[in-house]
Amino acid sequence: MTLSLAETFVQLLYLAASILFVLGLRDLGDAQTARRGVLLAEVGMVAAVAGTLLYGVGVSGVIVRWEWIVGALLIGSAVGTGMGLWIPMTKMPERIALSHAFGGLAVGLVGVVEYLEHGGARMSTLQITATGLEVALGALTFTGSLMAFGKLQGFITGRPVTYAGQNASNMAMIAGTLGLIGLLVYQPDAAWAFYVVATLGVLLGVLLVLPIGGADMPVVICLLNSYAGLAAAATGFALGNNVLIICGALDGFSGFLLGMMMSKAMNRSFSNVLFGAFGAAPEVKAVTEGAAPAGPAPNVGSVEEAAEVLRAARSVIVVPGYGMAVSQAQHAVRDLANVLQTHGCEVRYAIHPVAGRMPGHMNVLLAEANVPYDHLFDLDVINDDFSATDVALVVGANDVVNPAARSNQSSPIYGMPILAADMAKTCVVLKRSLNTGFAGIENELFVRSNTMMVLGDAKKTLTQFTAALKE
Amino acid sequence: MSLTLIFGLYVFFLAAFTGYQVISKVPHLLHTPLMAFTNAISGISLVGSLLAAGGHYGGLSTVLGAVAVLAASINVVGGFLITDRMLRMFKKKGGAR
């Protein structure tokens, strides 16, 4: 099959776009070159979209109605620009979840249009299989991401929602979806099966995210990222478009890889995160604990006492967690660090891979507050340094510093690598209240003799520390 | 199995391996920008949406296609902008670049 000159040109544009995307990703491997990578990918994107439009309108005549396209592109670009420029960094997990929802929606709808217009019977085996997978994954990503968004925003309870037979019924639905796609291969014109596949995808998105607790959001967001990519790749197979297959594979694999890293950082398997309904077990435990006498009381200190500890410190490691994001305390952290540094104190930051609600959440927040990224350290790099550190300042982190992960075999987080904040000479913990954290697990760190709890809003407390140290 | 499928699978798996090599080198520091970035480039599904919205199709297909164009273009434009906005914030010691 020989392509016309115009077709060749468009295909070469797609090839160039694919290469630019891969080069862009490579540049993202280093903070120094990352922005150049974004630029490369932008050029690739513009080339691919412009090529498609010019070719579709001017040469092949496949695109005959441009008013809808122009309208949708303009509105979409305006909304995208607004979201891109004005969403606060603390809302980044929500924005990422929403963007997966949009991605799933776009891909799912394209699949439905393909089926509507090219009729089942006229589709090849490859096209119908790919379209079925595309619609199922797209629908699942759409509703699943909306669920994740709702959980992050607090519209939906962050606690795992479980019921009897949950995993079995979900498995049955997944099997049913795959079975119906199989049926479509043999009876491509069975439209009912196609729409049942789409509906099952919509339902599965809701049901699969329902039992996953808020603290497991990093893994879920990665997985939804992966599904969005795989759905795009399926579209590429259905349309015979390589650049879609390539981007889908990159996106799908990236999400999968990040998800694996997150699971590993929690010492749990993928399936345990997805089907383990984390947090359900501790709820039972909490009931028994309510009846039993409480353990040793936590050592609650005043702002002044904690400020004195900080004043005497020569080295501080800050351990940020989701609480820092909730209280938007990143700038207050930076201000305190500035004052400490003027006193000659060394300030570093220890970032746990699953701190926050998505991979890299804490890094972005601290970057926003102008913390130089060479002051941020990964768990494996900094963990041995805690024992030689005067103060570990825990800002809204809980599970990632819970020593039960090291010692208590019955703890649901046993075996998870944690930051050794308890090894510091003094551990100052900023926490809203003495209630158990999101996962409902007791934290032994809070009752250790070298721990001082300072209760209240983290941002307010940090500002008070800064004021006290300036005196 | 058609040859098209075989070619497609080659492309898919080679891209996946390339992705593995490249993405595993991205430091933890940049994982959030990475997600925003991959999300933006998978907005390339816009190419498919454009054909769906602009084709000589029935009214329902055109509307669904237009919604797809809308959603995909939000991701492309918003995704790149937000990735760049995040990356601008990452500074090494020594203050502003």
Mean pLDDT, all residues of chain A: 88
Tokens (6 digits) for A231: 């759905």
Question: What percent of chain A clears pLDDT 90, i.e. is strictly above it?
Answer: 60
**Cα separation, A370 vs A384, whole angstroms:** 26
pTM (2 d.p.): 0.89
Residues in chain B with pLDDT < 70?
1, 94-97
Short-list A336, A346, A306, CA closest to A467: A336
Domain ranges of chain A: 1-86, 91-278, 303-470
Backbone angles phi, psi at A320, to 5 degrees: -85, 150
The residue of chain B with its CA nearest to that of A260 is: B24
The residue of chain A with its CA nearest to that of B30 is: A360
pLDDT tier at A211 (50, 70, 90 boundaries)? Answer: confident
Residue A14 pLDDT > 90, yes or no? Answer: yes
Q: Which of residues 25-84 of B touch A (CB under 8 A)?
A: 25-58, 60-84
Residue A285 pLDDT > 50, yes or no? Answer: no
Q: CB distance B84–A35 less than 8 Å?
A: yes
pLDDT digits 0-9 by tens, A90-101: 889 999 999 999
Put simply, whether B13 touches A (Cβ < 8 Å) is: yes
Question: What percent of chain A clears pLDDT 70, i.e. is strictly above it?
Answer: 93
Higher-pLDDT residue of A463, A61? A463
Which of B54, B64, B66 is nearest residue A64 as measured by Cβ atoms? B54
A426-431 vs A391-395, strand pairing mode: parallel
**Residue A3: DSSP 8-state:** P
Sign of the CA dihedral with B81 first, then B82, B83, and B84 last: positive
Active site residues of A: 399
DSSP structure string for A183-207: HHHH-TT-HHHHHHHHHHHHHHHHH
pLDDT tier at A157 (50, 70, 90 boundaries)? Answer: confident
pLDDT score recorded for residue A282: 41
Backbone angles phi, psi at A44, to 5 degrees: -60, -45
Considering only the top CATH level, what class is A303-470? alpha beta
